[in-house]
Amino acid sequence: MPAIVLIGAQWGDEGKGKATDLLGSRVDYVVKFNGGNNAGHTVVIGSEKYALHLLPSGILTDGVVPVIANGVVVDIEVLFDELEALTARGVDVSNLLVSANAHIITQYHRTVDRVTERFLGKRQIGTTGRGIGPAYADKINRVGIRIQDIFDENILRQKVEGALEQKNHLLVKVYNRRAIGVEEIVSDLLSYAERLRPMVADTGLVLNKALEAGKTVLFEGGQATMLDVDHGTYPFVTSSNATSGGAATGSGVAPNRIERVIAVVKAYTTRVGAGPFPTELFDDSGEYLRSKGFEFGTTTGRPRRTGWYDAPVARYSARVNGVTDFVLTKLDVLTGLTTIPVCVAYEVDGVRVEEVPVSQSDFHHAVPVYEEFPGWSEDITGARTFEDLPKNARDYVLALEALSGSRISAIGVGPGREAIVVRHDLLG
Ligand code: GDP
Ligand code: IMO
Ligand code: MG
């Protein structure tokens, strides 16, 4: 298999980490192409639980080459902290490659992220506070600092000066904060240079050569379709392209190399942070999903907002990403419910709408139209084939498949690595 993309179909935390880990042993490279340490992927292997933020989940598989590509924003301190924590637990991280073109998150990005959120007041996005938005803003504004810059002290100093000129005015005059000194940033970044040097590579070239040689490359998206800066619920989004197209621009591998697009989708919906969420529940059912699904952010620990499955969102994802396969996760969390509502369309100002409305205000006002499906009470965590699932669970999956615009090739039935039902080979 050539290049495969794995992305989130909803608002994140669908279980992408687990899905990547599932494929890990059959791929040669795992590439993170967007976002930074705003991501939080939990992977459960036996009794061990790993929480990854900046590193791709594939790093947990022996022999895989993990790659942080150009589309990522890298907080170097976090990078080394994560590498050290994994090394201490016996994970081999020596293969990691970091793109020379990836942008760096510095202290001033984190500061600007937090002060802007505070000043937004009620209009807050609820960011992770990791400096993601400000780092991408600098990249687009052409005042970003790239990994390669830390190997040339003069260039680095000039760039940091350029980046801080406007920001210090803003911090001091608007936000009433202290100015950030050029030298403190420069010396902090330079202190990582020698440790970082052996990992830095022209990752676009490495990946293209690997594909030429017939290797399998898995692109692992951070965040998700509805958090994509172009295709998500703007402005309540992250600042990168989390959709499959981002894998090409974020890595330097051309779109026509990509043969498979796997979207991970939860059997219900969750969202962290602010923004529209038509199927959100504010009653006991919402609390049930949160506690049974353990829906608390891996990165910030915030309780996740919860709601029923939204088929128009899944269909939208299928379209935007060119999804070939869905991995449906957390089906086990629904066990015990008498009936399970699924949003099949919306009503906007009294009119039935089948697709995600392009107008943000319409999406804000969209009222879900539900169809109810009968639940099941049998424990499904031991199911390993589709036939092992109770009939009502199979019918629920088949109904979602018919509504969501692509086949459901695998079904998560528990947090562990082995708790999965595979219906179609994801790589074959
Ligand atoms: P990611 O950001 O998409 O990688 O997802 P997160 O790791 O933030 O959140 C998904 C959570 O669901 C993690 O705690 C996983 O261990 C857990 N998980 C993944 N798949 C399943 C599943 O099929 N069933 C259950 N019960 N938990 C799952
Ligand atoms: P994974 O990869 C869920 C959300 C934040 C906020 C918005 C912008 O684990 O699925 P940012 O810090 O990126 O500027 O915040 O995006 N967000 C996520 N929500 N899962 C994630 O990553 C997220 N990464 C960012 O909560 O609403
Ligand atoms: Mg997550």
Block means of pLDDT (10 residues each) for the chain, 428 residues, are: 93 95 91 97 91 94 96 98 96 96 97 93 93 98 98 98 94 92 97 98 98 97 98 97 98 97 98 96 97 91 95 98 98 98 97 96 96 98 98 98 97 95 93
Q: Which residues contact 156 (CB under 8 A, 6 or more apart)?
A: 145, 149, 150, 186, 189, 190
Distance from residue 247's CA to the centre of ligand 3 (Å): 18
Could you tell me if the CB of 93 is within 6 A of ligand 1?
no
Known catalytic membership, residue 41: yes
Number of H helices, E strands in the chain: 13, 20
Distance from residue 40's CA to the centre of ligand 1 (Å): 10
> For residue 227, which atom of ligand 2 is closest to its CA?
16
In 3-state terms, what secondary structure has residue 392?
helix
Position 165 scores a pLDDT of 93
Q: Which of 21, 28, 41, 62 is catalytic?
A: 41
Rounded (10°) CA dihedral 112, 71, 159, 84: 80
> For residue 36, which atom of ligand 2 is closest to its CA?
13
Pocket mutation for ligand 1, best pick of 6, 14, 18, 328 (most atoms within 8 Å of C-beta) = 18
Pocket mutation for ligand 1, best pick of 20, 41, 42 (most atoms within 8 Å of C-beta) = 42
Position 1 scores a pLDDT of 60
CB count in 10 Å sphere of residue 190: 14
Q: Which residue has the tokens 């637990």?
A: 89
Distance from residue 17's CA to the centre of ligand 2 (Å): 14
Distance from residue 419's CA to the centre of ligand 1 (Å): 11
DSSP state of 302: P
Question: Quick one: the chain helix, strand, coil %, rounded to 5?
Answer: 40, 20, 40
Known catalytic membership, residue 395: no
DSSP state of 253: -
Could you tell me if the CB of 40 is within 6 A of ligand 1?
yes
> For residue 412, which atom of ligand 1 is closest to its CA?
23
> For residue 198, is the peptide bond before it cis, meaning its omega torsion is within 30 degrees of 0?
no
Ligand with minimal distance to 15 CA: 1
